[in-house]
Structure 1
């Protein structure tokens, strides 16, 4: 197979949640919350930076 593994006995540990639907749903929900939080944080920062930029432009023109 081209791997350094001599045995695949311990590989099952990597898939220990594959048969537990509720754990997969919880993990997916946590990941979705993290993504939404990140996007919201970026949007808030961009809105503040744009408002600052507009204020600077108004000061330059007056």
Structure 2
């Protein structure tokens, strides 16, 4: 299979924010603000570009 791991017995996963709901909420809100801001800027740009083309 191309892997050097012969046993999965001691394998563990580490999730940085998995046990901290406040950090998960802050991260989610931050991402939502960034995406919302980008969408807002894209809409403003497209409206300005279209109004220049229309004139």
Query: Which range, TM-score by smaller chain?
Result: 0.7 to 0.9
Matched residue, 2:32 = 32
**Rg larger in structure:** 1
TM normalised by structure 1 equals 0.69
State yes or no: 1:43 paired with 2:43. Answer: yes
TM normalised by structure 2 equals 0.77
Superposed CA RMSD in Å reads 2.0
Larger RCO (alpha carbons 8 Å, 6+ apart): 2
Matched residue, 2:18 = 18
Runs of 4+ with deviation above 6 angstroms: none
What 5-or-longer segments of structure 1 have no aligned partner? 56-62
Superposed displacement of residue 4, structure 1:
3.5
Matched residue, 2:3 = 4
What 5-or-longer segments of structure 2 have no aligned partner? none
